[in-house]
Amino acid sequence: MLRISRYRFTFHARDPIQFPAFPGSAVRGIFGHGLKRSVCVTRLNDCNECEIRSHCVYSYLFETPVMVEKGRNAPHPLVLDVHQLVQRYESGEAFSVEATLVGKANRNLPYLIQAWQRAGQRGLGRENARFSLKQADVLDFQSRSWQQLFPAEGGAIELPEPFDFETGSEGASPATARVSLVTPYRGKRNGHLVTPESFNIQGFMVSLIRRISRLQELHDPDYARVDLAPLIHATSELSIIDSDLKWKDWTRHSSRQRAYMNMGGVVGTFTVSGEGLRLLWPGLQLGQWTHAGKNTLLGLGEYQIQAEKDVV
């Protein structure tokens, strides 16, 4: 299905830090700036004008080239998880950001560590609040424990082997599962954003399946392809038996477009049941780490699942 790694970066605040209500945009901005400063050799403002962008770590992770031959944007191989951050940290306090890297993107981990170090030196927000990277860990999906990667003994960072979700999915599928949309889910249907009223499990799962397939196609191409037809058919055998969904507004300022952008989406919980869970359970588990919908690089589309009732 897909190979991924999950990383946790732990920082200490050197100055008091004030995050916005939803920190995803600020984290993506400072991290992206640190990475670009670390790897860019042309110093061009517009990556589209760069002749070597197809070989650039920053471009690959943050401005993933459009899949022109497919007529659609390519999904980023990097997903940020910022929901655990609080709005304020005092000097000396610790905080962490988690990230998922897909397939071959994992070989760029040393650049990410360097980028976080540069980001901390530059500082966050209008006050340029500084922070220091103290540790980087990788998640062992089998034991659900974190293994330290940085600082590394001898100074050399060892790249971990990505986890294989095809062979490593957790247990049998349940009869029902409860899904919590932790950060706004921005899905589209017929060209319009999905609302709490128009949300349905078939649309959610088909979108997730296709996202995972596109991630695999572009970022883990050596891995065996999955036949989508049975998975998409299985979504017709799912139903939502109860839900508590609402719309959550979030506005961010885009420096590039010099305007405020509405980034709201659907949050809340729903319970899904049906025979289709037998086939779709591994993908539903995987989606917790890849997120679903649009703007996952900002931390949107994060969800968590909990198995309920008897397994089938």
Give tens-digit pLDDT for 154-198.
778 889 999 988 744 555 789 999 999 999 999 998 889 999 999
pLDDT of residue 256: 63
Q: Which residue would you say has higher pLDDT here, 227 or 235?
A: 235
With tokens 């304020």, the residue in question is 88
pLDDT in tens, 11-57: 999 999 999 888 999 999 999 999 999 999 999 988 888 999 889 99
The whole-number average pLDDT for the span 198-208 is 97
- Of 273, 199, 189, 280, give the one whose Cα is nearest residue 234: 280
Higher pLDDT, 156 or 65: 156
DSSP 3-state of 265? strand
What pTM does this model have? 0.91
Smallest CA-to-CA distance from 301 within 79, 150, 126 is with 79
CA–CA dist 106, 100 (Å, integer): 9
> Percent of the chain having pLDDT more than 90?
75
Please tell me which residue, 1 or 193, carries the higher pLDDT value: 193
CB atoms within 10 A of CB 170: 12
Contacts of 233 (CB under 8 A, 6+ apart): none
Q: Which CATH architecture has domain 3-164?
A: 2-Layer Sandwich (3.30)
Q: What is the mean pLDDT of the chain?
A: 90
- What one-character DSSP code corresponds to residue 55? G
CA distance 102 to 79: 9
For 174-311, CATH number out of 3.40.50.720, 3.30.70.1900, 3.40.50.300, 3.40.225.10 equals: 3.30.70.1900
> Same CATH fold, 174-311 and 3-164?
yes
